[in-house]
Amino acid sequence: MSRYLLLKLFPMLIFFNTPPIQHARVLRLLKYSTEDAENSHKTTEQAFRHIQNIVDYSQNVMKPLLGEKYVHNGEAVKLPLDFVRQLSLKVQQERPESRCDKVMDTFSGCALCLPNLTQLSCCCSREHRPPLCIEIKPKCGFLPSSRHVTKDIKNKVCRFCMHQHFKLAHGKWKRLSRYCPLDLFSGNKQRMSLAIKHLIEEPQNNFKIFKGGECIYSCKDDADVLQDLDELAQHLRPYFLPNGSLMNGHQSSKVVLNELIQVIVSALLSSWDPRKTHLSEGRARCEASLLHRDLLRNTNHCLPKDCVLDKILGTQMLDSLDIEGLNPLFKRVEQHLQDFPKERSSLQIDGPYSQSFLEKIQKCPTEDDGSIEYAVGKVHQYRVAMTAKDCSIMITIATCGEEDGLDQSLEIQPSKPRFTYSVSILDLDPKPYESIPHQSRLDSKIVNHYLRSTLPNNQELANQSVFLGWDREGEDCTLVFHPV
């Protein structure tokens, strides 16, 4: 890779072409906190090893758990420093203010090279419309059932909904998001549609839309949401409304956004396996959700087996003890490492992320036998679950015409617009072993803040019935499976 052509930018991910093959790629570079940037920089060898760990973790741990078709592990690459510093100057200008608490690594010249998932490897649209890509950070999709949980509210209100109040109080966001991950992971199309509607209304850092690789919709701190939604609908109108449509203005915007939601729901539920994965009702209902309790109580909670949400949820649920149950096991491991420091390597606390690391996760006993092997296995399971709780889903779609000769067995609703699509999972970094005490403290702060600030209003909020303004039960668009 002797020269590079900068195409488009968004935070820490840089799109470029690699001559002479001209395949779209993304560069992901390391970041450091602005508070300690001077002391945090790694040598070239350290940075390359760090990135290679991410590649190994994706390849050997997350890909077997989440599925071969969803995970792209990429490769570690070395870049000219002048090129990296030019990128840094350009990137910093493009980043939103809320994301400028970290700076890009401009000293090592190392990066992670990935396929550009905002594009499809082939696009069968004869109308030459650029592909659309929707990025969603779904967050944790279940309530804990661990006997170690000490605050009953954690069995009733999901972590994301509680964390929203904590972030608002500390100035992270200016508005609460009404999104609830348990609605998205429910498998019920009405609940999923409402969840996506709430992501669109308040995207924060959890929802983005790209058109032809360019971000056209994301969080804007001072945005006029209604104006942004109308602008978004204008971008999407050619994909979901025929050219001769008489609808215009606000009516057409609602129709277009509803059609987009139906496509997203269909892609998230797509699976070749007809079986269902069921989640008990008690772990699938969040009392902070704006959906009426009767609707929550009378819906099935199941996902098609091996759909992207099912794979993510199953991996998240490796966190079977909750952080409160894990913390004593972490202390057991810490004590063991103090007594036997040379075993840190054999226990793979810092990697390598190989087949044996995956085996420690998969073969961990279900009951605590007091051993260090059990404690290490549960710590590794928790770290993997945290990766799945913080991952992103990329759904890329492109229009297909009737004359494209697609396999009829792949069609979902032939009467609606036809799309080819791909679904991928990214942001699959290993979570640091050392971050577990921080996660324990943060969990306590979030729960205590929620109890102090919102508990008197929970009953009133839970009893509200929401008017689904531009939600409606629409027919599915046709989706055609297109592996990347």
Dihedral sign for Cα atoms in the order 255, 261, 263, 269? negative
pLDDT band, very low/low/confident/very high, at 97 (cuts 50, 70, 90):
low
Sign of the torsion angle spanned by Cα atoms 423, 396, 419, 124: negative
Grade residue 43 by pLDDT with cuts at 50, 70 and 90: confident
Work out the average pLDDT over 267-290: 79
Average pLDDT, the chain: 82
Quick check: 285 pLDDT over 60?
Answer: yes
Averaged pLDDT for residues 396-425: 67
Neighbouring C-beta atoms of residue 348, cutoff 10 Å: 16
What length does the chain have? 484
The rounded distance, in Å, linking the Cα atoms of 433 and 452 is 30
Q: Say which residues have a Cβ less than 8 Å from residue 273's Cβ, sequence separation at least 6.
A: 304, 305, 306
pLDDT by residue (tens digit) across 164-189?
999 999 988 989 999 999 999 999 99
**Strands 418-426 and 478-481, bridge-based pairing:** parallel
Is residue 225 scored above 90 in pLDDT?
Answer: no
Residue 95 to residues 220, 346, 392, Cα–Cα distance (Å): 11, 41, 19
Rounded to two decimals, the pTM is 0.86
How far is residue 112's CA from residue 47's CA, in Å, rounded to a whole number? 10
Which residues neighbour 369 within 8 Å (Cβ) at sequence distance 6 or greater? none
Rounded to whole angstroms, the Cα distance separating 214 from 385 reads: 31
**Pick from 13-22, 74-83, 130-139, 357-366: least confident:** 13-22
Sign of CA dihedral 162, 167, 168, 170: positive
Instruction: Give pLDDT tens digits for 421-466.
Output: 899 999 999 999 999 999 999 999 999 999 998 756 554 444 333 3
Where b means 16+ CB within 10 Å and e means fewer, 12-45 reads: bbbbbbbeeeeebbbbbbbbbeeeebeeebbeee
Peptide bond into 131 cis (omega under 30): no
**Could you tell me the strand order of the sheet in which 13-17 lies?**
5-10, 13-17, 24-28, 110-115, 75-78
pLDDT at residue number 413: 46
Average pLDDT rounded to a whole number, residues 324-352 = 97
**Residue 244 clears pLDDT 90, i.e. is over it:** no
Mean pLDDT comparison of 38-42, 118-122, 223-227, highest-scoring range? 118-122
- Structure tokens, 74: 């990429």
Mean pLDDT of 294-317: 84
Q: What value does the mean pLDDT take over residues 124-129?
A: 62
